[in-house]
Structure 1
Amino acid sequence: MNEVNDYFLKHLKELRSRLIVSFLSVVLFSTAVYFFIQPLSRQLVAPLFRADPKLATLVYTNLTEALFSYIKLSILVGIAAASPIIVYEAWMFVSPGLRRSEKRQIFLVVFLASALFTCGVLFSYFIVLPEMLSFFMGFARQNLKPMPRFGLYLTFVARNALAFGLAFEVPFLMAAAAKIGLVDSRYFRKHRLYAYIAMMGLAIMLTVGDIFSALLLTIPLGLLYEAGIWIGALLGKKKVSAP
């Protein structure tokens, strides 16, 4: 019993130390990012000014809004910057109990999931965001003047980046389901219509009822769904042909 307790306490201490390292890395990166928050925020706001050249400035209606917006942005970027360290610490904690084949599979899963999420965020910022901003700023009229709030704008950008980052995980999840034998590509083909309806509903929820943003999200979701069907079919063929 003492050996079991010692073994458990040893792993608990290791888990605590790795959580502390991960937390401190987020704090350090977030602090470092805060020193460059002005150029970073200008970069994020730039698409809005390009969408409406007449717009001269953003506003904040709460005395603490700008400060807390800067802090939230610093933490978000800090988490993203510290994510390799967080993944490394998690890997070092679980890897001793894994076989070599399992280590390769987990490494591939983490790499593909991270790459797809990053592609989704970049797609949101460089492709979708400019179109969305041009559409919304196009409602400005002589008697209707846009006055975007700084904090709400940053929330809007972050929310859409997260939505597209998660959306780009669709083919990965479908391929994983096909790989482990949970479902095959024929199931996804058969239920394609229901999937598109669900995607539209998911897009509306992720964009908080913004129909235009939901449409922009549904289109790549549909393409990613078709890519997932194709990849799942390839994995299914490999599984059948394997001895």
Structure 2
Amino acid sequence: MTGSARDFYDSLAADYHRIFPDWEASMARQAAVLDPMIRRELGPGPHRLLDCACGIGTQAIGLARAGHRVVGSDLSPVAVARAAAEATSRGTNLPAVAADMRQLPFRTAAFDVVVCADNSLAHLLTAPDVTAALGAMRRVLRDDGLLLLTLRDYDDLRRTRPASSPPQVSHGPDGRSITFQLWHWHEDGERYDQEYFQLVPDGAGWQVRVRRTTSRATTRDEVADAAARAGFTDVTWHPPETSGYYQPVLTARATTGRSAHLP
């Protein structure tokens, strides 16, 4: 993962909640989808869970409040500091560390579940990086543990190559803010540069904040193939219309008896 991705999320961490209409409601709503998926696969739990791209805690806090023993990690030290603080302010414990998902600093087979949500995998810009990250996730999972990963529908987006995302209005104590993205596709049709605009209330006007990063539009088949190479079986994509989640969700099980490693 590039240094620019860390810079992007370090800068965005203080404003990340603004990408949701209501961040508190989004935490609860996402946990209400992901928690039953975990319990259907692994039983009632609670389970040892790593959110390896936890950001400011959108999924990790909700899953911790659902009773799981959650640890968070993220490339951005600013984001993980906020995640831990947000969890504490809600009466929840969330140990969190700064770490690259390709080199997770946890012991082998430490977790029952690894979560990688909110399109985080798209910041890995090459196929070997994706395979390395999935290998690291497999290593820290116990045999037959569960991978739960969410990603934009890049099969469709690579066909349509949108130039922007719809504006999102967020309501907070300081008033309404607006978030939208401009996308600049590379000639290879796989990568795109994002200009991430946020209009934040500033007295009687607006303050405009712009961050930039690059993402890779990795298809579902590419992710599934990389997961299989990393040591996962039962790789299944669940579309939003069946899962209730806002992005396609991949579930996969860690192959029993195979300890994957980074290439």
What TM-score do you get using the length of structure 1 for normalisation?
0.26
Query: Going by fraction, where is strand more abundant, 1 or 2?
Result: 2
What TM-score do you get using the length of structure 2 for normalisation?
0.24
| Structure possessing the higher radius of gyration over alpha carbons | 1
Query: Going by fraction, where is helix more abundant, 1 or 2?
Result: 1
